[in-house]
Amino acid sequence: MSRQPLSDSATFPETGEAFITSWSGGKDACYAFWLAQRQGGHPAALYTMLDEDGTHTGSHGLHREIIEAQANALGVPVLFRSVPRGHYEQHMKNVIGEAREKFGITSVVFGDIDLDAHKDWLDRVTDEANIIPRFPLWHYTRRQLLDDVLSAGFKTMIVSVKHDKMDTKYLGQIMTPELADEIEALGICPTAEDGEFHSLVVDAPCFATPLKVKTGAIRQDNWGHSVIQITLREYTG
């Protein structure tokens, strides 16, 4: 596939600008973080929304210790919020305000690619929170994005699948170009922008050390996902 340039629609922090990243633990958030940093932005922190119990992320189903290990590998702090259903927006504004007070941030980096309705919502919420949204991946060609993520040295594992779209055999697999071809042949977007699966970054150019993880049992969540348990073999802090 011929290489496509980053879209003219992509936006980045300015040189030296302190930013916080909306962090899921997956490849798009991590790649957006890395690009923003390479463009000269200063990564001040991550923020991650957890379930009401404060233990796991949503669709990715990652325990907070996995997110903490990623933050340690990146060398930045992470701010968590436990979010009851229907209260996401207010908690997002709250965590942005905390990051502004603690770290002096002026922007938030998101890993969104091309879903206009979601970007419209983020634009509104960040405007109300008086913070600048940055979208380093906006209108990036989907398959080219995945190819670039892999060629840059990001190592990602599939940790959650929509059980009516994908077989659980994919859980725990490391993404490769060949696996992406197989998934694409199923009629599924290989970047998972449509939510058929979710990933965990276990190594990246911006990680000081890789995450050492092991997989466990598969469970069904309340939103139609099959989620594989991920635990640390060795804490990387």
pTM: 0.93
Q: Spell out a b/e string for 84-122, using b for 16 or more CB atoms within 10 Å of the CB, else e.
A: eeeeeeebbbbbbebbbeebebbbbbbbbbbeeeebeeb
Grouped pLDDT means (10 residues each) for the chain, 237 residues:
61 97 96 97 96 84 95 98 86 96 97 94 96 96 93 96 93 96 92 90 97 95 89 67
**Interatomic CA distance for residues 178 and 181, integer angstroms:** 5
Q: Among 203, 172, 202, 170, which residue's Cα sits nearest to residue 184?
A: 170
Distance CA 74, CA 26 (A): 14
**Would you state the pLDDT for residue 3?**
40
State the architecture of 18-234 in CATH terms. Answer: 3-Layer(aba) Sandwich (3.40)
Which pLDDT value is given to residue 215?
A: 96
**pLDDT on residue 218:** 95
Query: d(Cα 64, Cα 191) in Å, to the nearest integer?
Result: 23
Please state, in angstroms and rounded to a whole number, the distance separating the CA atoms of residues 216 and 66: 14
**CA-closest candidate to residue 206, choices 152, 161, 166, 163:** 152
* Domain boundaries along the sequence of the chain: 18-234
- Single out the residue of 134, 138, 87, 91 nearest to residue 112, CA to CA: 138
Tokens of 155: 């190592």
Give residue 90's pLDDT.
93
pLDDT at 1: 34
User: Token digits for 169?
Assistant: 């055999």
pLDDT of residue 234: 59
